[in-house]
Amino acid sequence: MVIVTVGGESYYINRRLKELWDNIKDGKLKKLDEDRVYVVDGRERTGKSVFALQQAAYIDPTLINDMSRITFTVEDTIDAIRKTDSNDKETKAIIFDEAFRGLSSKSAISKTNKELIQALMEMGQKNLVLFLVSPSFFYLELYAAVIRSHGLFHIIKEKGSGKRSFRAFSYRKKGILYRRGIKKGWSYNINTRFRDWYFNKYPGGKNFEIKYKAKKSRSLMGTETIKKELGSEEKRELRRGIVKKAMEIGYGDKKKLIAELFGVDVRTIQDDFKKISSNTPEIIPKTPINDDNEEGNL
């Protein structure tokens, strides 16, 4: 692994991945007149979004200051794709987090799904890098999972130690994996030696982490499913989780920013700080591996 610095924050990245990204960043993808689509999957709370953020931010450091290109809905993803272009000096990246909500292979293909597929077909003309983050590769529709994407990163978190690692599957191997998995119960039984540990560290530092988590929470609270399934108390606890994190990392002076991100009055956030400070119970969700060049290109 090697150390990279993005937005003033340093973190480790796999050496082979860095070489891969170095070949497409800084406008090189525009010169190739190509694009890239990668799928990042893993169970809930494994850190797959952080992994995608680390890779995308290294390719495109401007992502840290442009939250519009970190999306959580199909509509916002389409909008970001259509409004973004790489140029000769900058390769632009987009992250579609929770992509399964828009590209689920178990649901009928809606008008929005068709629009996104069309946007993916058009994306090559813009020379972008798109990361699709999903709980499972097998949730994705065939076009996005097999035909359009260039590689798959499967994220794993060890139960005891909590260590996180990724397994990378090339274009060819993920195609085999998808065909077998659909038939045999979503199994990841294809061998790959392209794997490594990574650390759960946000590029851009703590300020970016707060903004990202706040946007993600707001997105979740804004969906129809969440509106139906979560009561007002549960929504409040999601917000307080962000507030508690802000207190832990010394960002207690960011009440106005947090209020704006959640669309609530700043006095509401002040009350959250007081309750957490007084120990009010909170419901808060709780050596490199072998790496060689045999596994094909991503």
* Interval 159-179: pLDDT, tens: 888 899 999 999 999 999 998
Q: What is the pLDDT of residue 86?
A: 97
pLDDT band of 36, cuts 50, 70, 90: very high
Q: Is residue 297 part of a domain?
A: no
pTM score of the predicted model: 0.76
pLDDT computed for residue 114 by the predictor:
74
The answer to the question of residue 287 being in a domain is: no
The answer to whether position 77 is within a domain reads yes
- In a domain? residue 25: yes
pLDDT at 172: 94
127 contacts: CB under 8 Å, gap ≥ 6: 29, 30, 32, 33, 34, 35, 85, 86, 91, 92
Question: Domain span at residue 133?
Answer: 2-198
Q: What is the pLDDT of residue 232?
A: 61
Residues 92 and 40 grouped into a single domain? yes
Residues 166 and 271 in one domain: no
Q: Letter for the amino acid at 32?
A: L
Within this chain, do residues 250 and 119 fall inside the same structural domain, yes or no?
no
Which tens digit of pLDDT belongs to each residue from 238-270?
677 777 767 766 666 667 767 766 667 888 888
Rounded distance between C-alpha atoms, residue 84 and residue 281, angstroms: 43
Same domain, yes or no: 127 and 246: no
Q: Return d(Cα 157, Cα 155) in angstroms, integer.
A: 7
- DSSP E strands: which ranges in 120-218? 129-134, 151-157, 164-169, 195-198
Tens digits of residue pLDDT in 114-147: 777 778 887 878 999 999 998 888 877 788 889 9
> How far apart are the C-alpha atoms of 153 and 38, rounded to whole Å?
8
The residues with which 196 forms a beta bridge, in sequence order, are 166
